[in-house]
Amino acid sequence: IYRIVQEGLTNIAKHARATAVDVILTYSHPQVMLTIRDNGAGLPVPEDAQESKRKEGIGLVAMRERTLSLGGSFEVSSEQGKGTAIRVEIPV
């Protein structure tokens, strides 16, 4: 979980041009939920799911792979000019 947060914050610092960031970590048996969100530039909107996979940066790919290797789920939502939110749920 630490590495997922670390990569998320690194991506925000490098790319988002954000002025605010929230990191929310909660535990509710049987899972840990993590949300990282910013008010930055947002991600480019892909035309379809295939394009979405191709445009995902190395950082997001690494975060997704770490999450999936722990049996979790990974979701990214973004709006141009309004920021990005990453939601992770990992069973414990």
- Pairing mode, if any, of strands 21-28 and 73-79? unpaired
- pTM for this model (two decimals): 0.87
Whether residue 4 has pLDDT greater than 70: yes
By residue range, what is the domain housing residue 51?
Answer: 2-91
Q: Domain containing 69 — which CATH number?
A: 3.30.565.10
State the greatest distance between any 2 C-alpha atoms of the chain, in Å, as a whole number: 37
Q: Cα separation of 69 and 40, whole Å?
A: 28
Q: What is the pLDDT of residue 33?
A: 99
pLDDT band at residue 40 using 50, 70 and 90 as cut-offs: very high
In tens, the pLDDT along 57-70 reads: 889 999 999 999 99
pLDDT surpassing 90 at residue 48:
no
Q: Residue 14 corresponds to which tokens in the numbers above?
A: 């490098």
Answer whether the bond into residue 44 is a cis peptide, omega within 30°.
Answer: no
Report how many domains make up the chain: 1
